[in-house]
Amino acid sequence: MMSVRSLPLLCLCFWSSESLYRVPLKMFSGKLDSSVLLSALKRNQSASGDGLSLASDLAGNVNFLSMVDNLEGDAGRGYYLQMVIGTPGQTLNILVDTGSSNFAVAAATHPYVSTYFNRALSSTYKPSGKSVSVRYTQGDWQGELGSDFISIPQGPNGTIVINIAAILTSDGFFLPGINWQGILGLAYPLLARPDPSVEPFFDSLVKQTGIPDVFSLQMCGAGISASTATNPADGSLIMGGLEPTLYRGSMWYTPIIQEWYYQVEVLKLEVGGKNLHLDCREYNSDKAIVDSGTTLLRLPVKVFDAVVEAITQMSMIQDFSSGFFSGTKLACWMKGESPWGFFPKISIYLRATNTSQSFRLTILPQLYIQLVADMDGTLNCFRFGISSSTNGLVIGATVMEGFYVAFDRAHKRVGFAVSACAEGNGIPVAEISGPFLADGVASGCTDGLRLQEPLMWVVAYTLMALCALVLLILLALIVVPCRCRRRDGEITDESSLVRNRIK
């Protein structure tokens, strides 16, 4: 029989001398969960790498070292970058999001926003007269499109002109406790709203500064201890390449399947080293993406259920409530007790650029069993950093905080290396290994998926063009005289379309 000491003191509930208390957890399964405080980890400055790992780009347009630690924030409330907008410059904090493509800033007062971009005070702001709205997994906003100058104090040198969406109204987008006033969408034009003609920020940056079409992201808020105001979680957004001091070992690349989101191909998942034995199409239904703006690791329902079942079977905790896995309850332990030894590692296999091979991202429980609350100084409470999803698999901050992630748009690939800041008590909380043969999944993992957004845009534009052509023909038949003769020889411009139209 397992000793009392080896079990967690409390699981999802705890006793006081008078009554039983249960700890509810307010969860947002998608973007920007505001309920979590995660901590920064110190950077280890020894790293090696290859490929795009340069101290600066060859043209001398950018110094990557100056961008180190240019992000603040944490996974729960988002990582943000300081930017200066307009003339004279107005300084705002902008959320970094690889899962959208609009650059949007608060342009009106809001209860949860400390400052906003006042367009009337910028002499260089140019409105376009177009309205725009964007809906995210959590929250939405509406506003107007325009353009203005921006600069980044800890970014590439110079000032550029970019498209700006001025947020005038929103619902569930700005949240209590955040310290950012806008969002920097770093994905492809196909996700831009109201249509792909709105050039995203990074496309504009590459064109106007000449930096390489690649950026990399380190997020140092791994959930090992709660962040504080004096020691906030931080990170780095390196624009134009990779900074070798931010990661260890080699960079492993997976192809970008479609250029809208950063869509990749997941071949399999393992829990505690055991394969879930699901058809690989389940992992990619309806897409698998890398998204810094999503807090959790989100899994399609069938995959999520299999992961929870595997964790339940392997965990040393008996009778663990489903409320913890569904995100409605926290699990609490006495201070000084670590829960991570009760849970297995989780591995995600991605297709390598050599398509007959794969590599493995492994996260330790420290990344997905996340500390969120200190109860009366005696208990530490944790949440489950994985949720179910109805719109695809999302490699969000739960996983990304273990890795330095390179978005190499020039070569249509996403790279992963172990982050130099992903460790607890000197022990790495993430691992990467390979190559492995892609046994049994050499092709077809993304086959049979539903119609995806890039193709939907093509179909939409084709239908619009067809409708426009039909409309032109109809207008021609109405407007151009039909110079037909009546039996009495009188010429009339009355078209047959008008005479015989359906009423």
pLDDT band at 439 (very low <50, low <70, confident <90, very high): low
Distance between CA 205 and CA 343 in Å, rounded?
43
- How confident is the prediction for the chain on average, in pLDDT? 80
Q: 252 or 335, which is more confident?
A: 252
Residue 352 maps to a domain: yes
Range 321-329 average pLDDT:
87
Mean pLDDT of 113-123: 97
Say if residue 157's pLDDT is above 50.
yes
Please tell me the distance from the alpha carbon of residue 232 to that of residue 39, in angstroms, as a whole number: 6
- Greater model confidence, 491 or 30: 30
Q: For residue 102, what pLDDT is reported?
A: 97
Our answer to whether residue 488 is catalytic in this structure is no
**Contact residues for 478 (Cβ-Cβ < 8 A; gap 6+):** 495, 497, 498
Q: Which residue has the higher pLDDT, 213 or 320?
A: 213
Give the whole-angstrom CA distance, residue 345 versus residue 311. Answer: 9
Is the model's pLDDT at 21 over the cut of 50? no
Residues 57-95 pLDDT 10s: 445 556 788 899 999 988 778 899 999 999 999 999 999
Is it the case that residue 15 has pLDDT exceeding 90? no
Helix ranges, 159-300 (H): 201-209, 280-283
Q: Residue 168 to residues 108, 173, 214, 232: CA-CA distances in angstroms?
A: 5, 12, 31, 29
pLDDT at position 378? 86
Buried b (16+ CB within 10 A) or exposed e, 167-201: beebeebbbeebebbbbbbbbbbbbbbeebebbbb
Residue 215 lies in a domain: no
Domain annotation covers residue 198: no
Whole-number pLDDT of residue 52: 41
Q: Which residues constitute the domain of residue 389?
A: 246-471
Residue 503 belongs to a domain: no
pLDDT-derived band of residue 494, with 50, 70 and 90 as boundaries? very low
Which of 33, 74, 291, 408 is flagged as catalytic?
A: 291
Strands, sheet with 357-363, edge to edge from the N-terminal-most edge strand: 274-275, 266-271, 346-351, 357-363, 430-437
Q: Is 286 a catalytic residue?
A: no
54-58, 90-94, 339-343, 393-397: segment of lowest average pLDDT: 54-58
CATH number at residue 380: 2.40.70.10
Q: Which residue has the higher pLDDT, 60 or 96?
A: 96
**What average pLDDT does the segment 389-401 reach?**
95
Is residue 411 in a domain?
yes
**Pairwise CA distance, residues 72 & 21, whole Å:** 35
Residue 490 inside a domain? The answer is: no
Q: Domains in the chain: how many in total?
A: 1
Tell whether the model's pLDDT for residue 470 goes beyond 80. Answer: no
For residue 118, what pLDDT is reported?
A: 98
Q: What is the per-residue pLDDT for 445?
A: 85
Q: Is 417 inside any structural domain?
A: yes
What is the pLDDT at residue 492? 27
Q: What is the identity of the amino acid at 15?
A: W
> Sorting pLDDT into bands at 50, 70 and 90, what band is 317?
confident
User: Cα–Cα distance between 19 and 27 in angstroms, integer?
Assistant: 25
* Structure tokens, 352: 């390598």
Task: Write out the two tokens for 468.
Answer: 């426009």
pLDDT of residue 288 exceeding 50, the answer is: yes
| pLDDT on residue 229 | 42
Query: Per the domain annotation, does 59 fall within a domain?
Result: no
Average pLDDT on 487-492 reads 34
pLDDT at residue 423, as a whole number: 86
pLDDT digits (tens, 9 = 90+) for 101-112: 999 999 999 999
Residue 142 has pLDDT above 80, yes or no: yes
What mean pLDDT is predicted for residues 303-318?
Answer: 88
| Per annotation, catalytic residue among 33, 57, 74, 97 | 97
Confidence tier at 233 by pLDDT (50, 70, 90): low
Q: Which residues of 101-130 are buried (b: 16+ CB within 10 A; e: fewer)?
A: bbbbbbbeebeebeebbebeebeebeeeee
- The per-residue DSSP string of 302-314 comes to HHHHHHHHHHHHH
Lowest mean pLDDT among 203-212, 300-309, 327-336, 393-402: 327-336
Q: What is the pLDDT of residue 321?
A: 74
Confidence of residue 227 (pLDDT cuts 50, 70, 90): very low
pTM of this prediction?
Answer: 0.78
